[in-house]
Structure 1
Amino acid sequence: MRITRTERIVNYVILILFAAQALIPILYVLWLALSSERIGDSSWFHPENFAAAWEIGKFSEYMKNSVVIAAIVVTTALVLSLMSGYVLGILRPRGSQFLFYLFLLGIMVPSEAIVLPLFFDLRAYGLTDTIWAVALPQIAQSLAFGTFWMRAFFRGVDPSLIEAAQLDGAGHIRTLWSVLLPIARPAVVTQVVLTFMWTWNDFLIPLVMSPAGKMRTALLGLAFFQGQYTSGTTLLAAGAVLVALPMVVLYLLLQKQFIAGMTDGAVKG
C-alpha cells in the first residue's frame, strides 16, 4: 500500500502535535528552573537555582537513597528475572504454567492493596525505616514484570541455539550466561530502564515503609520540599529537574537498546 503525499504530511503534523504536547511542559519547567526568584527581575539563566535547591532541599541525601535503592532493586530483579524467565521459557518443567500465572498476580495486584498489611509484616521483623523495607516490595513487583518479560523473550529463542549449547556440554548456567544473555541484551536493557524508572518514581512505598523519614527518596523529598521549604516555583522547578535528570540521562545512554527491546517485544507479542 502506497502512502500519498497528503497522508504523509498529515502523519507528520500529528506527530509534531504529540511531540509538542510532551515537550512544552518540560521546557516550561526548565525555563522556570532557570528564571530569577526575585519578583520583577526579568533576567534569565540562573543556574545557581539548582545549587540552592540541592542544598535547601537536602537532595544529596535523598538522591543517595534513591540511587542505592534503585541499584538494589534493578540488579536483584534482573538476576532473578533471568533465572525465572529461563526456567519458565526454556526448561518449562511440570507446573510451570501455574507458576507463571502466580507471577502474573504480582502485575495485576496494585501496591495500594497490599502496602498496609506489608508494612505491619515488615514492622514485625524490625525492617521499617531501613533500606530493605523500601527495596524488597519493589523487587517483588519488578520480579513479576521481569519474569513475564524474560519468559516471553526466551520462548522466542531458536531452539537450535539451546540444542547446540547442550551438545557442546554447556550446563544451564553456561547456556544462560554465554548463549542467551548476549542476544537478550535489548530485552535486558528494556527491563533495566523500566525497573529503574518505576523504582525512582515510586512514592507510596517509601512514604509508608519509612514513617520516620530515614529512607526518604528523591521524589518523596521533592514533595516535602514543596510544602516545607519554599512556596515559590523557581526552586521547586529546579528540584524537579534534579530529580528527573538521572532518568533522562539513563534513557539517553540506553535509548537504542531500549527501543530495540520494546520493538522486539511488540513484534513477538
Structure 2
Amino acid sequence: MTAFATLTVPAARPRRRRPLRWVILALAILIALVMLAPLMLLVLNAFKTGVDYSTHGPLAWPTSWSLQSFRDYLDRVDYLRALWNSVLIAALVAVFGTLVSLLSAYAIGVGRIRGGTALLAVFLLATMLPQEALIYPLFYGAQATGLFNSVWSVIIVFTVLQAAFGTYLLSSVMSTLPPSLLEAAALDGAGRWRILWSVVYPVMRPTLSVLMVFFFVWTWNEFYIPLILLSDQSVQTIPIALATLQGQNSIDVTSLNAGSLLSLLPTLVFFIIFQRTLSRGVTVGSVK
C-alpha cells in the first residue's frame, strides 16, 4: 500500500481592520454630512409655511409638511416655460460646443496649423475673462443682429465660450495621439475627414462625453449673461425666474427654497442618468 501524506494548510486569519481605516471612514462620513447640510436645509425650508419659518427659524424641523410654498412659486413663475428654455439652451450649447471643440481641436492638435500655440493662448484668455467685461459688446451685438430676447443669442454666446475651453482641452489631448496611428490611416487612403470620424473620434469619445456633460451643467447654472440678453419673461431660464422672487425690500424665503429645490431636481436627474458616462470617461482617460 502506498501512503499519501496529506498536508493541512492553516486557514487564513481574517485581517483586522486598522483603527486608521475607521478614522478615515468617520472623516468621510462627516465631510459628506457637511456637504449635504445645505441641501437638507433647502428641503426642510421648502416644505415650511411662511409663519412656521418666521416663528421657528431656518434650522427647526417643520411643524407640518406643507406644499404651499411650491404652490406660491408655481403661481408666480411659469416654471414649465423656464424649464423648457433652460433645457433647450443647455442641451444645444452642450452639443454645439462639443462639436466646435472637436473640429477646432482637430485642426490645432492634429492638423498642426500655423499659430496653433497663439490660438490656444487666445482660447485660454477667453476662458479667464470675466463675463462683466464681455456684456457690453454682447448686448449691443444682440441688438444689432436682432437676437435680443431670443434664446439663440445665449446659445451662440455660450457655444463660443464653452468651445474655447473645449478646444484648449481637446487639442492638448489630441497632440498626444500616436503619429503612427494617423499615418497608418493616411496610408490606407483615408482623408482628413475620414481620419477625424474613423480614428480620432472613437478614441476621443469618452472625453467628449464628459465634456458634453460639463457644458450642460455649466450652461444650466449661468445667470448674468442670460439676465441681460433675455429680459422677456417668455424666454427666461430657471435661474432668472428664480431671481424674480427676490423683491426690493422683502424676500419670500420659503417660496425661494421651493423654487431652488425645483430648479435643482433636473440637474440631479441629469447627473444620475449620465453618472456612468462621467465615470467611464474618467476611467478611460486615466488608463490612456
CA distance in 2, matches of 1:21, 1:166: 54
Asked if the contact 1:206–1:220 (Cα under 8 Å) also holds between the matched residues in 2, the reply is yes
- Counterpart in the other structure of 1:247: 267
Matches within 5 A, 1:194-233: 194-227=214-247, 231-233=251-253
Alpha-carbon distance between aligned partners in 1 of 2:72 and 2:178, rounded to the nearest angstrom: 55
- 2:286 and 2:75 map into 1 onto residues whose CA distance is 43
Query: Once the 2 structures are TM-superposed, how far is the Cα of residue 81 of structure 1 from its aligned partner?
Result: 0.4
| Corresponding residue number in structure 2 for 1:143 | 163
Q: Which runs of no fewer than 5 residues in structure 1 stay unpaired?
A: none
- Equivalent of residue 74 in structure 1, options 68, 91, 94: 94
The CA deviation string for residues 64-90 of structure 1, in whole angstroms up to 9 with x for no partner, is 111111122111111100101111111
**2:10 matched residue in structure 1:** none
Pairing 1:23–2:36 present: yes
Do 2:149 and 2:230's aligned partners in 1 also have CA atoms closer than 8 Å? yes
Provide the residue aligned with 1:42 in structure 2.
63
Does the C-alpha gap of structure 1 residues 67 and 138 become closer, same or farther in structure 2, counting only changes over 3 Å? same
Amino acid at match of 2:78: K
- Offset at 1:260? 4.1
1:167–1:246 distance in 2 versus 1, CA, 3 Å: farther
- TM-score w.r.t. the length of structure 2 is 0.80
Q: CA deviation at 1:177?
A: 1.8
Match of 1:10 among 15, 23, 26: 23
Kindly tell me: are residues 52 and 267 of structure 1, through their superposed partners in 2, closer, same or farther at Cα, counting changes over 3 Å? Answer: farther
- Partner AA of 1:32 in structure 2: N
Q: Distance in 1 between the 2:110 and 2:139 partners?
A: 36
Aligned counterpart in structure 2 of residue 97 of structure 1, from 112, 117, 127: 117
For the structure 1 residues 47 and 161, does the alpha-carbon distance in structure 2 shift closer, same or farther, using more than 3 Å as the test? farther
Matches within 5 A, 1:151-230: 151-227=171-247
Identical-residue share of aligned pairs (%): 37
Bigger Rg, structure 1 or 2? 2
Cα displacement (A) at 1:59:
0.9
Moved more, 243-252 or 199-208: 243-252
**C-alpha separation in 1, matches of 2:157 and 2:110:** 27
- RMSD of aligned residue pairs (Cα, Å): 2.7
Q: Aligned equivalents of 2:166 and 2:92: distance in 1?
A: 15
Q: Given the superposition, is the C-alpha separation of residues 264 and 108 from structure 1 closer, same or farther in structure 2, using an over 3 Å criterion?
A: farther
Between the aligned partners of 1:48 and 1:181, the Cα distance in structure 2 is: 50
Give the Å deviation of 1:6: 4.0
CA contact (8 A) 1:54 1:60 kept: no
Greater helix content: 1
Instruction: Decide whether aligned partners of structure 1 residues 14 and 220 sit closer, same or farther in structure 2, where only a CA change above 3 A counts.
Output: same
What are the ranges of 5 or more consecutive residues in structure 2 without an aligned counterpart?
1-16, 56-61
Q: Give 1:221 shift.
A: 0.3
Matched residue SS, 1:184 = helix
